Amino acid sequence: SQTIHQWPATLVQPVGSPLSLECTVEGTSNPNLYWYRQAAGRGLQLLFYSVGIGQISSEVPQNLSASRPQDRQFILSSKKLLLSDSGFYLCAWTYGLGEQYFGPGTRLTVT
Amino acid sequence: DQQVKQNSPSLSVQEGRISILNCDYTNSMFDYFLWYKKYPAEGPTFLISISSIKDKNEDGRFTVFLNKSAKHLSLHIVPSQPGDSAVYFCAATKNRDDKIIFGKGTRLHILP
């Protein structure tokens, strides 16, 4: 069966510090991968999605970036965090069947 | 431009009664709709979906209704149980391979 992992589960970072969140999927190959952010009153905001290694589409201009160095690995990064980057970050995957399956999420607090 | 709208931020329902969560969409190209359930500090979990060729899909206590002419769908939960208290997200996609657009969610409280 497929599983999706995210780490860390929680993170507290000062403004201006870098960020790296990792997501890996097991039990499938060539999945479509997604990064979402859930901020208060904003629902689930799609940040990036990837249909293959090295292929990244950005949905929202911001100081975040994403990379997919391996088929089942998706990384969300920032060189300098802003206060507005605080939120709950979710990685998800789909195999073209419509339903997305989400990871457990990372709670990021920027102080 | 919000393509998927959940206009009720919260809803309270007595245990055992019917919960009805509503969702509107603006993009007539959407042809597949989904509902997700989310508990605090967890990722959303897929609940039920419906294709645009149908107007109803039922799975146990959960039924989703689609009204294409009104660009409206709803999720019915009968009977409502305490474990149903969560945030429910409506979502839509243009085809089953495209990215999914989510609404802002509705927080459902099931009252004892």
Q: Per residue in B13-67, pLDDT tens?
A: 999 999 999 999 999 999 999 999 999 888 899 999 999 999 999 999 999 999 9
**Measured distance CA(A48)–CA(A74) in Å, rounded:** 10
A60 pLDDT band, cuts 50/70/90, is confident
Of all residues in chain A, the one with the smallest CA distance to B47 is A99
Contacts of A71 (CB under 8 A, 6+ apart): A29, A30, A31, A52, A53
Contacts of B66 (CB under 8 A, 6+ apart): B33, B50, B52, B54, B55, B56, B72, B73
Say how many residues make up chain A: 111
- Shortest Cα distance from A21 to chain B (angstroms)? 15
Asked if A44 and B89 come within 8 Å (Cβ–Cβ), the reply is yes
pLDDT at B99: 79
Cis peptide before A14 (omega within 30 of 0): no
